[in-house]
Structure 1
Amino acid sequence: MSQRSFLPIVLAAGLGTRMRSEMPKVMHAIGNLPIVGHVLKTLNAADADRIAVVVGPDMQALEELVGRLAPGASCHQQTDRLGTAHAALAARSALEVPADDVLILFGDTPLVTPAAISKVRDQLAAGADVAVLGFEAANPFGYGRLLIENGKLLAIREEKDASEEERKVTFCNSGIMGFNGKVALDLLDAIGSDNAKGEFYLTDAPEIASRRGLKVVAVAGDEEEVQGINTRAQLATCEAVFQKRMRQMALDNGVSLQAPDTVYFSHDTEIEPDVTVEPNVVFGPGVSIESGVTIRAFSHLEGASVGKGSTVGPYARLRPGANLAEGSHIGNFVEIKNASVGAGAKVNHLSYIGDATVGEKSNIGAGTITCNYDGFGKHKTEIGAGSFVGSNSTLVAPLTLGEGVYVAAGSVVTEAVSDNSLVIGRGRQVEKSGRAEELRARFKAAKAEKS
């Protein structure tokens, strides 16, 4: 297979009309990656030599995404939407460059796997001129039926055109179709628009090829992985399948999920073995977790890295740029943003650490806040190793605390503190004997007068 050149054409020009969205359909996300991004990742994994993506007018964001995820891919604009074959022919310039295998698939089928792609390509390598990926449908209504006789695919019959007998067929068209590169362009050009809508349908290709005496076959795939997305409900269904796959992968790789159905992964989540994830944890994009970590319940992580043996949560939030070193502890209702927490350091309660570095083995007391934003710009707080910041402290950035510093509870610290110093930044306590009784009497009288 590796000796055969491979050109996939991804049809991604569809609008988000049925999604009730201004955004192109394939830009809606599953696992924090646009739908078409999943297709491109699959094609990269399936060793595509070059990828052609058919886009609609004014889809610059889609073209930029394709450039990021598949840098060698080409984008081709379909100005008028006149059917699937018309869309494929928008990539004519790519088709004119020879390829052994040409595969046409849709940008809204995010669950398709490299194995499914290989099934189609295997048929082409074995001599098929056209190979269609089909599936046994639990409910075939609405799908094109694959009409097979003596092992040969004769035609794809759409629901509205099928006879009563043909509608009994449960082997259906997935929309993924492979071509021998030598005949692909000629077959696509032969597709006409003699139908009610006057459009050019890719599903006519097998019948044209069959009439020409070419070898046309169908190969079975799995219904779950070929499902497409046209509505928000279908988007949610595919998200559920994606999450099921990610949970199973994590379990297979040695991760303990205490309540798997409550944990949500991103497409790029990286978790090493011997990690424990408690219930109701959400992994946003860009998270990596090293071995021995415990992520406690109701935590949300995004753009964060967590070092070996660390503990996060419960109810913790790690935002982009959070970097926890080995053995660090982030506790309940703590938020970390664009900050590095050193090895063995602890931020255990009700704190916000943003745009900061916390030295190793430091302890940040409950209610501590780094004041990193002045309304115009962000500023950094640096806390040296072995420091102790007392509860309810306010650290006003830009600020540097040296190593071994002790910050008294309730302090507002605005100036740099040298190594091993005690800093007290709060008003002196004053006691006025007997004044409490006077205050109570005054407040009682005022309340009585008001009522």
Structure 2
Amino acid sequence: MDVTAIIMAAGEGTRMKSNHAKVSHKILGKPMICWVVDAALSAGCSRVVVVVGSHADEVRALLSGSYPADAPIECVEQAERLGTGHAVRVALEATGIDAGPVVVLNGDLPLIQAQTVRSFARTVSADEAAAAVLTMTPPDPFGYGRIELDADGAVARIVEQKDCTPEQAATLTECNAGCYAFDGAQLAAHIGEIGCDNAQGEYYLPDMLEILRRAGEAVTIYHCDDYRDGLGVNSRAQLAELTAVARDRVNARLMAEGVTFIDPAQAWIGPDAKVGRDTVVWPQTHLIGACEVGEDCQLGPNTRLTDTRVGDRCSLDETVAIEAVVEDDVTCGPRAYLRPGTHLLDRAHVGTHVEIKKSTIGEGSKVPHLSYIGDTTMGADVNVGAGSITCNYDGKNKHATVIGDRTFIGSDTMMVAPVHIGSDAITGAGGTITKDVPDGALAIERTEQRIVEGYTERRRARL
């Protein structure tokens, strides 16, 4: 089934009170528009057309940065925002779509699922209906247009909330989710018949339903099994509400796959994250982007991973990691910071108040406390004493530090890069290492300690 998805993303989103496009706001670290695009692609849509308008460049950049260049996604600009009907007409004219099922989705509908999109498209793929409305029955239908059906179950009309009589408000529980599916040929043939004879002077896509009915075509509904698929975001409060729903869906899926959550309401796992069985997720844990976590790990509390890969049997306590790779049996934290380019090999340990940047920490090596390691290649079974720093930046360029296997770095050692410290070497505490250290050598750099007897008494006498 060759399905086209048209995603509406041109609106101002004024109720968000934002300087950014509404569809760029994130749920679980992922922009809303990407949730909808992902649902369309996962549903098998062969073409995804995103209609941009307000903040068009921002939305384009967001999509190009989120998907490969060969993804079947294209943007069409609605230069004048003249309503939803006009947006679809602009999309059709720009792309030449005139056949196959066309589903029109809203870019602020982040909870819609691929199966819903797939089934919705099928309602117009068997030549039985020219159009379908996505409907739902939310617990509180106030604010939604109500669907009135005729005796055959086809759509008779949509009654907007402001036009509902008390009886209609009480009896019409089927609500319009604002998404539509069309037979592409019928849509292309009749889209030009939508008029703008209304108070706003806009072209409304729902008018297509009546146009098709007058043409003798069938118009039906597709009911969401989960009403939350049809919930949109128009305010910051709704953004928070739908984030909580998305969180619960993701966490429920992971628990069904064998992941333990100490408190599912206090863990925010992005939809693209993968977590292995028997891993325990503690409160205030965030997994953002394409994170992969292995089995039997302990994540958190207070841990945030972004685009990071973690192996098996790791413990990350109060750890922030961004674009890092953590192999098996690694321990981090509390209060560890792994910056982009960090690679912790098997059994490595990064401890309290330690920052690692663009460095490889070798197998079994330890950086236990209060240290900064940057632009460093570290061998196996190295022990870095507290307060040690690689001085990798000269004010203009970054320089590399190399530390060999089984070397002991004494506490408060400053390693001024570029510098090479060999294997089985030792640096004395408090040293500033500016020259290469051979294998098996001891490097000591200290000034002579001077003792001034009676200094305290003489000082007090002067005060």
TM-score after normalising by structure 1: 0.91
Amino acid at match of 1:164: P
Provide the aligned length of Structure 1 versus Structure 2.
438
Measured in 2, the distance between the counterparts of 1:171 and 1:395 equals 69
Amino acid at match of 1:36: I
Measured in 1, the distance between the counterparts of 2:333 and 2:253 equals 23
Equivalent of residue 250 in structure 2, options 246, 250, 254: 246
Aligned pair 1:268/2:284, yes or no? no
Give the CA deviation at 1:105.
0.7
1:102 match: secondary structure: strand
Amino acid at match of 1:145: R
What corresponds to 1:423 in structure 2?
A: 443
Matching of residues 48-447 of structure 1 within 5 Å: 48-56=45-53, 59-68=56-65, 69=67, 71=69, 72-93=72-93, 96-126=96-126, 127-150=128-151, 151-168=153-170, 169-221=172-224, 222-260=226-264, 261=266, 262-284=284-306, 286-296=307-317, 298-432=318-452, 435=453, 438-447=454-463
Give the CA deviation at 1:102.
0.5
Which residues of structure 2 form unaligned runs of 5+? 267-283
| Most deviating of 385-394 and 245-254 | 245-254
Give the CA deviation at 1:188.
2.7
Measured in 2, the distance between the counterparts of 1:79 and 1:366 equals 59
Measured in 2, the distance between the counterparts of 1:380 and 1:249 equals 43
What corresponds to 2:272 in structure 1?
A: none
What corresponds to 2:269 in structure 1?
A: none
Q: Give the fraction of aligned pairs with identical amino acids, expressed as a percent.
A: 36
Give the CA deviation at 1:379.
2.1
Amino acid at match of 2:62: L
1:439–1:252 distance in 2 versus 1, CA, 3 Å: farther
| Most deviating of 6-15 and 217-226 | 217-226
Report if the CA contact (8 A) 1:350-1:368 is conserved.
yes
Matching of residues 1-80 of structure 1 within 5 Å: 4-56=1-53, 59-68=56-65, 69=67, 71=69, 72-80=72-80
Measured in 2, the distance between the counterparts of 1:194 and 1:259 equals 53
| Most deviating of 224-233 and 347-356 | 224-233
1:245–1:384 distance in 2 versus 1, CA, 3 Å: farther
1:378-435 per-residue CA deviation (whole Å, 9 max, x = no partner) reads: 2222222222112222122222222222121221112222222211122233344xx1
1:165 match: secondary structure: helix
Measured in 2, the distance between the counterparts of 1:179 and 1:70 equals 28
Measured in 1, the distance between the counterparts of 2:102 and 2:372 equals 53
Amino acid at match of 1:270: E
Give the CA deviation at 1:9.
0.7
Give the CA deviation at 1:161.
2.8
1:35–1:408 distance in 2 versus 1, CA, 3 Å: same
1:88–1:425 distance in 2 versus 1, CA, 3 Å: farther
1:394–1:226 distance in 2 versus 1, CA, 3 Å: farther
Measured in 2, the distance between the counterparts of 1:246 and 1:342 equals 34
Amino acid at match of 2:262: Q
| Most deviating of 384-393 and 267-276 | 267-276
Give the CA deviation at 1:54.
0.7
1:255–1:311 distance in 2 versus 1, CA, 3 Å: farther
2:14 match: secondary structure: coil
Give the CA deviation at 1:170.
2.6
1:271–1:140 distance in 2 versus 1, CA, 3 Å: same
Amino acid at match of 2:237: A
Measured in 2, the distance between the counterparts of 1:388 and 1:255 equals 38
Amino acid at match of 2:370: L
1:188–1:161 distance in 2 versus 1, CA, 3 Å: farther
Measured in 2, the distance between the counterparts of 1:282 and 1:220 equals 38
1:124–1:333 distance in 2 versus 1, CA, 3 Å: same
Measured in 2, the distance between the counterparts of 1:408 and 1:282 equals 35
Report if the CA contact (8 A) 1:327-1:345 is conserved.
yes
Measured in 1, the distance between the counterparts of 2:129 and 2:295 equals 43
Give the CA deviation at 1:154.
2.0
Measured in 1, the distance between the counterparts of 2:391 and 2:261 equals 36
Measured in 2, the distance between the counterparts of 1:220 and 1:212 equals 24
1:242-268 per-residue CA deviation (whole Å, 9 max, x = no partner) reads: 333333343333334334412222142
Measured in 2, the distance between the counterparts of 1:250 and 1:374 equals 46
Amino acid at match of 1:336: I
Report if the CA contact (8 A) 1:132-1:217 is conserved.
yes
Which residues of structure 1 form unaligned runs of 5+? none
Amino acid at match of 1:182: A
